[in-house]
Structure 1
Amino acid sequence: MRIDKLLFFLRFAKSRSLAQNWAEAGHIRVNGRRVEKASLSIGVGDVITMPMGEIVVTLKLLSMPIRRGPASETVLCYQLID
C-alpha cells in the first residue's frame, strides 16, 4: 500500500492529498529513511516516524487497513512506539 493511502486510511491525514504533500515534503521517515515520494510502498512491520503538531509520532504497522473505517478499527492496525 502507498504511504499516502495508508496515512489517510489510518486517519492521520484528513485527505489523501494532504498525506501526499507530507510525503513529498520529506516530513515522514520509514524505517529511518526519509520519504520523498507518496508512492512509496509500505508493508507490515515497517516503522513510520512523522511530526504531528508539536510532537513526533513513531508507530509500527501491525496490519494493513482495508478501508478508512472508524478510529476504533484503525488503532488495531498499528502500535505507538515511545
Structure 2
Amino acid sequence: MRVDKFLWCTRYFKTRNLASESIKKGHVTVNGQVAKPSREVFATDKIVLRKDQINYQMTILDVPSSRVGAKLVDMYRKDTTPDEAFAHLELLKLNKEYYRAKGEGRPTKKDRRDIDEYTTDIDDTNDNE
C-alpha cells in the first residue's frame, strides 16, 4: 500500500490529498528515509510523521484494505511516540494562553491602558535594581 493511502486509512489525515502534500513537504520518513507519496509500505516498517509540531512515531503492524474506523486503527499500527512530545505540545498551548483570543480584534482602550501599566511597572522595577 502507498504511504499516503496508509496515513489516510489510519486517520492521520482527513483526505488523501492532505497526506500527499505533507509527504511532498518532507514531513514523513519511512525507515529513516524521506518518502514520496507513492512509496510502498509493509508490515514492520517504521514511519515518523511530523504533524502539529509533534513527531509521531509508529510501526506498521498490518496493512488495511481500506479506511478503517477510529477504534480499529490500533490493529494496524503501534504508536511509539514518546510522551515528552505531547508534554511539549501542552507547554506550547499554555504559553499561548496569555495572548488575545483569536477574533477579538484590536485592543480596546482599556486593554491598551492595562498593557501600558504593566510595561511601566516592569520598567520601574528594572530601574530600581
> TM-score normalized by structure 2?
0.60
The answer on 1:27 being equivalent to 2:27 is: yes
Aligned length: 81
Note if contact 1:4-1:38 (Cα within 8 Å) is conserved in structure 2: yes
Q: Which runs of 5+ in 1 are unaligned?
A: none
Note if contact 1:2-1:42 (Cα within 8 Å) is conserved in structure 2: yes
Shift of 1:33: 0.6
When you count helix as a share of all residues, which structure comes out higher? 2
Q: Which runs of 5+ in 2 are unaligned?
A: 83-129
Q: What is the CA deviation profile of residues 19-67 of structure 1, one whole-angstrom value per residue up to 9, with x for unaligned ones?
A: 11111111100001111x2100000000000112121110000011111
How many Å separate the matches in 1 of 2:50 and 2:10? Answer: 15
Ranges of 4+ aligned residues in structure 1 off by more than 3 Å: none
Letter in 2 for 1:10: T
> CA RMSD, aligned part only?
0.9
Partner of 1:13: 13
* Percent identity between the two aligned chains: 30
Q: Flag the structure with more relative contact order, 1 or 2, with Cα contacts below 8 A and sequence separation at least 6.
A: 1
> TM-score normalized by structure 1?
0.92
How many Å separate the matches in 2 of 1:54 and 1:40? Answer: 23
SS in 1 for 2:55: strand
